[in-house]
A and B are shown apart, each in its own frame.
Chain A
Amino acid sequence: MVDPIFQSDNYVLARKLLDAAVVRQEAVAANIANAETPGYRRVDVAPDFAVQLKARLESGELSASAGSLKPRIVEDTTARAIRPDGNSVEIEHELLAMNKNAVEHEYLTEIISQNIKQLKMAITGRTV
């Protein structure tokens, strides 16, 4: 009976994207840690994660198939080498990415939180 909310598109999307936000935070942590390691290439969440998520949404079977989709960390092939030793990390870029990710994370937790709170309110009849 509660599943209509827990399987609604936006809720499932938010949960999956939250997975990606957590993984992206780790990727940024790894990049900043290796800002000066010779030859290190920056990593990020695989760009096809968002594409696949959208495809599953449009095919209509999001809640059933979303469980198997996991965000992966791959080398960012579009990043160019900043230093002569091949390191492709720019600290400012990483810090910006981290801040952007933080706001996304906040937004996604808000969506999930609101859904749960509304359900609680509907069930118990109380606004707390």
Chain B
Amino acid sequence: MTPVGSINPLLTGGSLLNKIDAPLPKLPGVHLGGATAPASGEGFGRMLDGLVATVDAKQQEAQALTQKVLLGDSGQLHQSVIAMQEAGVSFSLMVEVRNKLIESYQELMRMQV
């Protein structure tokens, strides 16, 4: 699935999530109480992977059902409509998560150290 597949390398393979997930730099005199951030690739990366997989699966299901209806194979118009809506919602969720992640990253980069 081209639109879905193209988001994945951009975010997980690339530098963006690595930067977000990277451990915070140690500043002299500042003690960070909690644990350091998880290793790169986990956390947001895995969540987005899961999302992409879900969206892919739902879009394929929607496409299969739609094709069946188009070819006159099945009287399952309602399943096709529901599958398309579900795929749309999943896709929309993934896009919003991506947007928020990018926003947070940009916000972080703007912070004065």
Q: Which of A's residues lie within 8 Å of B, judged by CB?
A: 1-3, 6, 15, 18-19, 22, 26, 109, 112, 116, 119-120, 123-124
Query: Considering only CB atoms, which chain A residue lies closest to B96 in the complex?
Result: A123
Q: Within 8 Å CB of B79, what residues of A?
A: 15, 19
Give the shortest distance, in Å, between B47 (CB) and chain A (any CB).
8
Q: Is the interface of B mostly helix, strand, loop or mixed?
A: helix
Least CB distance, B41 to chain A, in whole angstroms: 18
Q: Is the CB of B54 within 8 A of A109?
A: no
A120 / chain B contacts, CB cutoff of 8 Å: 89, 92
- Cβ 8 A contact of B86, one of A1, A6, A19, A123: A6
Contact present for B85 and A116 (CB under 8 Å): yes
A-B pairs with lowest CB-CB distance, top 7: A123-B93, A116-B85, A2-B90, A119-B89, A123-B92, A123-B96, A18-B78
Q: State the total of A-B contacts with C-beta under 8 angstroms.
A: 39
Bound-state CA distance A50–B46 (Å) is 39
Whether B78 and A2, one on each chain, are in contact in the complex, defined by CB atoms closer than 8 angstroms, is no
8 A-B interface contacts by CB (under 8 A): A1-B51, A22-B78, A26-B75, A112-B82, A116-B82, A116-B89, A120-B92, A123-B96
Residues of chain A lying within 8 A (CB to CB) of residue B50: 1
Given A1-B93, A22-B75, 10 new contacts (CB under 8 A): A1-B50, A2-B89, A3-B54, A6-B86, A15-B79, A19-B76, A22-B78, A116-B89, A120-B92, A123-B96
